[in-house]
Structure 1
C-alpha cells in the first residue's frame, strides 16, 4: 500500500485530491494537512511513500516545506500540485528537489499516475508542464548560444583562432604549434580573450567557443 499525505489549504480541493488518488486500491491517504506547518509536522511524524504539496499555503508554503524536508535529510518523494501560471515556482521546486508536478486543472488520472510513479522511485510531470519546461530549457540554450556568438564575434581574428583551439581542448603549446606562434604569444592572446569575454578561466572560455558553434 502506498501511504500518502495530502496538503492543501483549500478544503474542497484537498477533498477532491484525496478522493481521486484513493480510487486506486493501492493508494491510501493516511494524513491530510491544511497548511504548511501542519504538513511538515505530519511528514515528520509518519512513514510516508509520497507527499502531495500545494505551493501556496499559509504558515509555510509548499516550497518552504520542501526546502525544510531536504535540509533535514527527509527524502520522501514530493509531488507539487500547482496551477498553470506558476513557472517561477516550478523552477524553484525543481531546484529544491521536487519529484513531480501535476496541474490542478489537469486530468485527474494524472494524480494517480504521479503518485504511483513517485512511489516507485520515478518522477512525473503533467504533459503541459513538461512541455513548458522543455521549451524553457531550449530558450535558455538559445540565449546562451546567442550570447556566446556575440562574444566570439567581438574578438580579433587571431583571438578567434586561439579560442577555437581552446574549445577543442588544445593546450597553449599545442595552440602555438598549430598557429606557428610563440607560446608566450598564445598566453597573451588567452589573457586577452578572458578579459574580452569575461570568462574566469580557460574552461569558461572554451565553453564560449562550443556554444558559439566554433569547436
Structure 2
C-alpha cells in the first residue's frame, strides 16, 4: 500500500480561485504556515479566524488547500454579479446579510457542518479596520448545535500589506486549538465566540488594510470614532 496521503477534493471554482490567488500568496507574500496538523482532514470542523483584510480568506484557503476545502459564511453582496455569484456558490460559501436576522444562513451552515464540512467564520463579522469589535454569537451557536464538530482557530497576520506594492508583505497563517477548549458546559454562544476572538487577537493585532490613501481614510475614521485617541 502507498503511504501517500490522498489530496482533498476541491470544487472546480475553489481550485480556480486558489490558482489565481496562489502566486499572490507565494512567492509574493512569502506565505508562512504553521500548525496545519491540528486541522482535521475530514469530519465536521468549525474554523474560526480574525479578519483585517480581503486577502484573509485567500490566505487561509491557500494554506489549508492540501488538507481540505473551507466553506465560509460570506457577505451577500459578493453574490451581486453573475460571475462572482458563480464562484461563491461554486466554492460552497453561504451568503450572510449584514444587520438582519441570518437564521437561514446559520441553518444551512449547521446542516453542512453536520454533514462533515469545514465551515469558516469570522466572529467579528467584518474587517476590523483597526477597530475593536465584539464577537457575534454565530460561532457559538454553530458549536452548540453541532457539539461533535472540531473547533480550530486560525490567525492571519500581514495580509493587510498584500496590496502595498512595491513593499513585499510577509503573510503568516497559524492554525491552533483554542487554549480554553471547545464550548464549555454552561458557556453561552456569545461568550464562547468572544473567548475565541480574544485569543485570536492576542497573536494577531488589528491591522488597517489598503494602500496609502485608503489606509489614511480608515485611520481618520478610526480617530474620529475614538475621539482622536
Give TM-score, length-normalised by structure 2: 0.31
Higher-Rg structure is 1
- Name the structure with the higher helix share: 1
Higher relative contact order (CA 8 A, sep 6+): 2
